[in-house]
Amino acid sequence: MASTGSSSPQWEYDVFLSFRGKDTRDKFTSHLYSNLEQARIEAYMDDRELERGKSIEPALWKAIEDSRFSVIVFSRNYASSPWCLDELVKIVECMKEMGQTVLPVFYDVDPSEVAEQKGNYKELFIEHEQNFRNDLEKVRRWKDCLATVANLSGWDVRNRRGISEWESAIKRMIDIPDGNIIDVLPISFDGDTGNDGEKMKRNRADENRELE
């Protein structure tokens, strides 16, 4: 059910899923993908593992560009994958240049660990700085994009309370033609509803101003 209409882009996919396969493929991500399929929502899920040294195929870049939403499932080892991090950079590019809506999901990692590269993410980036010591600009872009996306409105599903609400929200937001999804997503990081919805709307408004 990709978007249609003469006044809006002709999206090939409703949702692009970015995730580290070893962490979530057989758990949260595959369950989410199955539910989206059942709801006739066009989702792109690439579950291959990229061999070290190989670059991402142009078809994958196009899939990101052709998606109305990108959902990034941050797991404890998401940042261990240069492939995932390169996807992330492309997604942020599409958010800034094409207005793509980006939604972070924190599966088994604290949002602050992602945003500030603390804990395990700090250790992973020590390795990246060693492995990519001849291209530290790439590492800097990865860090900047992690901080950008981790500070967007999203969901912390570590306690699993918010998963069913989150999946329902994903289905609802696809049906909103103008993309103003926060109006129907009064869901905070802990899965509760209520006043946090207003805070999320303000956060999204601030995010949009920063991108202008």
Q: Which of the residues are catalytic?
A: 87
How is residue 17 annotated by DSSP?
A: E
Q: What sign results for the dihedral spanned by CA atoms 103, 77, 135, 116?
A: positive
* φ/ψ of residue 136, rounded to 5: -70, -20
Radius of gyration for the alpha carbons in the chain, expressed in angstroms and rounded: 16
Q: How many residues appear in the chain? A: 212
Using CB atoms within 10 A of its CB, is residue 2 exposed (0-12), middle (13-18) or buried (19+)? middle
Which residues, including other chains, have CB under 8 Å from residue 7's CB and lie 6 or more apart?
none
